[in-house]
Amino acid sequence: MERRCVLNSWSKEEVRAVIRYEWALGVSGTEIHNRLVEVYGSGVMSKQMVRGWCRTFSDGRQQVEDIPRAGRTRTATTDANVGKVDGMIRANWRITIDEVAEELGISHERYQNITHDILRYRKMSARWQQGLLIFNKVLYAIYAAVGFSINRSIHTRRSISSGPSVDKQGPPDWGGV
């Protein structure tokens, strides 16, 4: 009894190696495609692509890995520009996008990519602040609001004349909180 299964995960290189092997045995491109679909499923590779790889191997190509291509070089989101943007923001928290983009000669989109995605800065009260700082401020605000309401309720239960005891090391102690 012959057992067949469909492989759910595969790499491009694996499929190309199978194509190269079958091509070396003299199997036609259409038959190679049918075998690939039988083993890897219908989304593996189109018939035209299989035939193209057969032609490529016939032309003498040996490797199945992608040939490295020269893409467009990164000119705006370089480490130098990221450092400059960070330095400019730290020097002046109220700096505008236009000022930074003009000084560095980069677009608004690249500037936002650097500040939001790489440096994780966010605007808060017209100032640039890192995401962690914003999170800490929100937590502090919640703590202060909850602490204030707790402190106020405790304080109102006591006599008004007692007031808080102030310690030089920390915040006022309203007693029992």
pLDDT, one tens digit per residue, over 42-71 is: 889 999 999 999 999 999 999 999 888 777
CA 98 to chain centroid: 25
pTM beyond cutoff 0.85: no
* Residue 137 CB contacts under 8 Å (≥ 6 apart), including other chains: 124, 129
**1 has a pLDDT exceeding 50:** no
- What residues form DSSP beta bridges with 127? 124
Query: How far apart are the C-alpha atoms of 116 and 110, rounded to whole Å?
Result: 10
User: Phi and psi at residue 130, in whole multiples of 5°?
Assistant: -70, 155
Give the residue among 146, 160, 92, 152 at the shortest CA–CA distance from 121: 92
Q: What is the pLDDT of residue 161?
A: 47
**Higher-confidence position of 154 and 107:** 107
Query: How far apart are the C-alpha atoms of 6 and 39, rounded to whole Å?
Result: 5
Query: How far apart are the C-alpha atoms of 121 and 100, rounded to whole Å?
Result: 14
Tens of pLDDT, residues 88-125: 988 888 888 889 889 989 888 888 888 888 888 877 66
Average pLDDT over residues 143-157: 58
* Residue 125 CB contacts under 8 Å (≥ 6 apart), including other chains: none
**159 has a pLDDT exceeding 50:** no
- At 172, the pLDDT band (50, 70, 90 cuts) reads low
Query: What percentage of the chain has pLDDT greater than the value 70?
Result: 68
Terminal Cα distance for the chain, rounded: 76
**Higher-confidence position of 5 and 60:** 60
Q: What is the pLDDT of residue 9?
A: 82
CB 10 within 8 A of CB 44: yes
CB 94 within 8 A of CB 124: no
